[in-house]
Amino acid sequence: MGVKEILEDGKLGREEIITLLEATGEDKQLLFKRANEIKLQELGNLVHFRGLVEFSNICGKDCYYCGIRKSNREVHRYNVSDEQILDAARFAHMNAYGSFVMQAGELESPAFTLRVENLLKEIKILSKGELGITLSLGEQTEEVLERWFTAGAHRYLLRIESSNPELYQRYHPSDTLHDYARRLTSLKTLQRIGYQTGTGVMIGLPFQSTGDLADDLLFMKHFDIDMVGMGPYIEHQHTPLFQFRSELLPIQERFDLTLKMIATLRIMMKDINIAAATAMQAIDPLGREKAVKVGANIIMPNITPGKFRNDYALYENKPCVDEEPEECKNCLDVRIQLADGEIGYNEWGDSKHFHKRTAGE
Ligand code: 5AD
Ligand code: FES
């Protein structure tokens, strides 16, 4: 079947997904158009903001793709103070962002658990319960995830990075800290506890085929995921995967493939939240807006205090590293309007899919 027939028929199996991901020219435009229509039908044109604070780049793990991996000695490590994190939460609240995301390098320790737990409670108090809170703090034990849920977090992002266990192994050291099975268990635990559960993958990694990407989308569907954040892989010179850079797709093609992944996923999962990843903006200044036009409905403005931003370099050319939160806000208002969107101020912007899933529909 061709792209037009697939879009009319609407049933997306592995072969059909591959055809969509390989679409070019007019076919590609048809895909984008259909995805945008579905988004407008299901979710309207509202884009929701999540104020993102990357509060520490200290990481206990050593993923082969990531610039802040433990073994990278070139990184200046930082930890934003509790007071500054709370200031950022106040900023998000006062600017009506509706939601707040706390992300950091991956650490598991009683002290870290307690710190996050206390911050969650304080953010709930300072925002009078109005600010939604998402965590993106990697794999944790069930007990820790329960504690954070009780303290006020209600969404959690944990990217599977690649849903193919063999590929996962090629992107991570072979040890208990980087175990695919544990990653999967953590995702299931998040769902069981009652978090709105988000995952995602990197697109354009070395050794990855279009078939693998189709499998990633099917994984999200079968997992009944509520939220997705996926972005292009961008090589970082101080990481092991950098040695395979000559095997990568040109960066523009990785960007284009990411747009097609977002559009295809929107057709497959009509009511989930899909974020326009910051990595898209690293490649194209209008990257996130382009994602919004093909199915994304969430943007995560970076509100990390300016002086720390340069050091949260998961990949190279990270955008907006020199800006302060206030400047980002003004810039985003304009950008979303340009993408024919409207910002859902003061709303949590929960995943509709989550509410249907938990209501048993
Ligand atoms: N390029 C693109 N995305 C990356 N991430 C980590 N390193 C890179 C990279 N080099 C993504 C991972 C992780 C998220 C926080 O950032 O998917 O889950
Ligand atoms: Fe920090 Fe992978 S390097 S979580």
pLDDT at 360: 66
**Residue 348 pLDDT class (50, 70, 90 cuts):** confident
Residue nearest to atom 3 of ligand 2 (CA): 69
| Cβ partners under 8 Å of residue 4, min gap 6 | 27, 30
Ligand 2 probe mutation, 57, 59, 73, 241, most atoms within 8 A of CB: 59
Distance between start and end Cα atoms, the chain: 31
Measured in Å, residue 69 CA sits from the centre of ligand 2 at: 5
Global model pTM greater than 0.75 = yes
CA atoms within 13 A on the CB side of 61: 24
Give the C-alpha separation, 234 to 245, whole Å. Answer: 10
Sign, CA torsion 292/295/297/298: negative
pLDDT for the residue numbered 153 = 98
Q: Which of 89-93, 115-119, 222-226 has the lowest mean pLDDT?
A: 89-93
**Chain-centre distance of CA 109, in angstroms?**
24
The percent of residues above 70 in pLDDT, for the chain, comes to 92
Closest ligand to the CA of 106: 2
- What confidence score (pLDDT) does residue 95 get? 85
pLDDT recorded at residue 32: 98
Is 159 near ligand 1, meaning CB less than 6 Å away? yes
Q: Which atom of ligand 1 is nearest to the CA of 202?
A: 17
Q: Which tens digit of pLDDT belongs to each residue from 236-260?
A: 999 999 999 999 999 999 999 999 9
Token output for 210 = 């279009």
Q: Is 231 in the pocket of ligand 1 (CB under 6 A)?
A: yes
3-state secondary structure of 103: strand
pLDDT at 321: 61
Please provide residue 330's backbone torsions phi and psi, each rounded to the nearest 5 degrees: -60, -40
With bands split at pLDDT 50, 70 and 90, how would you rate the model's confidence at 151?
very high
d(CA 361, CA 270) in angstroms, rounded, equals 14
Q: Which of 120, 121, 126 is nearest to 91 (CA)?
A: 126
**Does the CB atom of residue 65 touch ligand 1 within 6 A?**
yes
Domains and CATH numbers, the chain: 3-21+42-355 (3.20.20.70)
pLDDT of residue 358: 85
Query: Of 279 and 212, which is predicted with more confidence?
Result: 212
Average pLDDT over every residue of 142-149: 98
d(CA 22, CA 260) in angstroms, rounded, equals: 8
Per-residue pLDDT, averaged over 70-79, amounts to 95
Ligand that lies nearest to the alpha carbon of residue 313, given by its number in the listed order: 1
- Of the candidates 2, 7, 21, which has an alpha carbon nearest to the alpha carbon of residue 230? 21
Query: Helix 251-268 vs helix 210-223: angle between axes, to the nearest 10 degrees?
Result: 30
Predicted confidence at residue 347, as pLDDT, reads: 76
Give 206's pLDDT tier (boundaries 50, 70, 90). Answer: very high
Pocket test for ligand 1, best of 186, 315, 318 (most atoms within 8 A of CB): 315
